[in-house]
């Protein structure tokens, strides 16, 4: 079995972004395989999910050891997401066979990427006041202070699992945004830790479905793992000093471009849409900055007295002042 060196190199660079931002694995890896390496859509989804099933437990185990996982939330999310993810494979297959199912997966992935972009925007909007007193109140909340809302959490798991089973997108970017909306009192490290741990059985369920009924390709998955494992490690190391807000803006632009390409938008129209989206984002950010003043930071920043890593883990160490 030969390793595809260009594919491994591509997965390495995508994995660096994943390590920096904590999201974007399926949302970037799957379209990369389809757009640049001509991997069929169903094979891209299947292989990416199996590779993710190997990588996800590593991050989840770290957060479990740190005690930053709300296991009650994980239980309710998995109750909905695990069966829904497995069923997502059947939903994809139900659309047809051959070229028909490949085109269906392609368009479903494009829509999922648009949802991921919307999720990033929503996360930035909801966290726009993180640098104010509201954030300080949130920072005081502990895992035991969170009141679980069973039905909404179960529904989030079901919808997220279905999207992941069909497209491989959403275990990080979509569900973490839904958790942020439902449980604003979750601290950043608790949010990331809970999302990572619930993603382990979710991705494993979807991967099992694709192993049995999808188009899993061992050579593609192996090439992904060869590049992505060191890439994720390097991204996590860089994340300690990289500007998270800038990285998330770049991620949103890449996701939007990939979504438009998968949905069949022409190059000229795509450039105009991207330019309009960037202009709208700059205008919205300027408005927020003028309203909130210099206290309001980019998405992912926290107030003085709390430092974070790029994966959103709070250290509680005050920033160093001038010597």
31-77 pLDDT, tens digit per residue, is 889 888 999 888 888 888 888 888 777 767 777 877 878 899 999 99
Residue 292 clears pLDDT 70, i.e. is over it? no
The two three-digit tokens of residue 61, written as one number: 């185990």
pLDDT at 223 over 90: yes
Q: Which residue has the tokens 């390495």?
A: 12
In the chain, % of residues over pLDDT 70: 70
Contacts of residue 252, defined as CB under 8 A and 6 or more positions apart, other chains included, come to 117, 120, 121, 281
pLDDT exceeds 80 at position 235: no
- Average pLDDT over the chain, rounded to whole? 75
* pTM > 0.75: yes or no: no
Q: 322 near 203, Cβ under 8 Å?
A: no
Report the C-alpha gap between 197 and 57 in whole angstroms: 7
* 8-11 contacts at long range (C-beta below 8 A, 24 or more positions apart): 8/223, 8/224, 8/226, 8/227, 9/227, 10/36, 10/37, 10/227, 11/223, 11/224, 11/225, 11/226, 11/227, 11/228, 11/231
∠ CA 195-197-201, rounded to 5°: 110
Worst-scoring range by mean pLDDT, 24-33, 117-126, 211-220? 117-126
d(CA 302, CA 114): 27
Residue 323 has pLDDT above 60, yes or no: no
DSSP string for 225-266: HHHHHHHHHHHHHHTTTS-HHHHHHHHHHHHHHHHHHHTT--
| Least-confidence region, from 141-150, 191-200, 225-234 | 141-150
What mean pLDDT comes out for the span 230-248? 70
- pLDDT at site 296: 41
Can you give the pLDDT at residue 265?
83
Spatial distance between the Cα atoms of 268 and 170, rounded to a whole number of angstroms: 28
Look at 118 and 318; give whichever has higher pLDDT.
Answer: 118
């Amino acid at each position: 079995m030969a390793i595809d060196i260009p594919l491994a190199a591509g997965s390495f660079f995508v994995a660096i972004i994943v390590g920096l931002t904590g999201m974007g694995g399926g949302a970037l890896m799957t379209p990369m395989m389809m757009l640049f390496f001509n991997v069929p859509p169903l094979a891209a989804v299947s292989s990416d999910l199996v590779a993710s099933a190997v990588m996800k437990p590593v991050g989840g185990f770290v957060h479990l050891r740190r005690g930053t996982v709300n296991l009650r939330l994980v239980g309710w999310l998995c109750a909905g997401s695990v069966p829904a993810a497995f069923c997502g494979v059947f939903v994809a297959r139900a659309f047809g066979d051959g070229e028909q199912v490949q085109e269906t997966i392609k368009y479903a992935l494009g829509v999922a990427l648009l949802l991921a972009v919307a999720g990033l925007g929503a996360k930035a909007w909801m966290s726009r006041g993180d640098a104010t007193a509201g954030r300080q109140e949130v920072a005081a909340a502990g895992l035991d202070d969170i009141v679980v809302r069973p039905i909404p959490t179960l529904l989030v798991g079901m919808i997220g699992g279905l999207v992941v089973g069909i497209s491989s997108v959403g275990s990080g970017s979509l569900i973490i945004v839904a958790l942020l909306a439902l449980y604003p009192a979750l601290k950043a490290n608790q949010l990331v830790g809970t999302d990572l741990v619930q993603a382990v059985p979710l991705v494993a369920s979807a991967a099992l479905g694709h192993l049995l009924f999808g188009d899993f390709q061992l050579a593609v998955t192996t090439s992904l793992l060869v590049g992505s494992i060191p890439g994720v490690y390097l991204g996590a190391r860089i994340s300690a000093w990289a500007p998270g807000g800038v990285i998330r803006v770049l991620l949103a632009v890449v996701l939007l471009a990939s979504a438009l390409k998968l949905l069949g938008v022409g190059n000229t129209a795509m450039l105009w849409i991207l330019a309009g989206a960037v202009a709208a984002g700059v205008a919205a950010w300027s408005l927020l900055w003028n309203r909130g003043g210099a206290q309001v930071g980019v998405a992912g920043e926290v107030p003085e007295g709390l430092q974070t890593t790029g994966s959103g883990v709070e250290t509680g160490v005050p920033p160093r002042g001038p010597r």
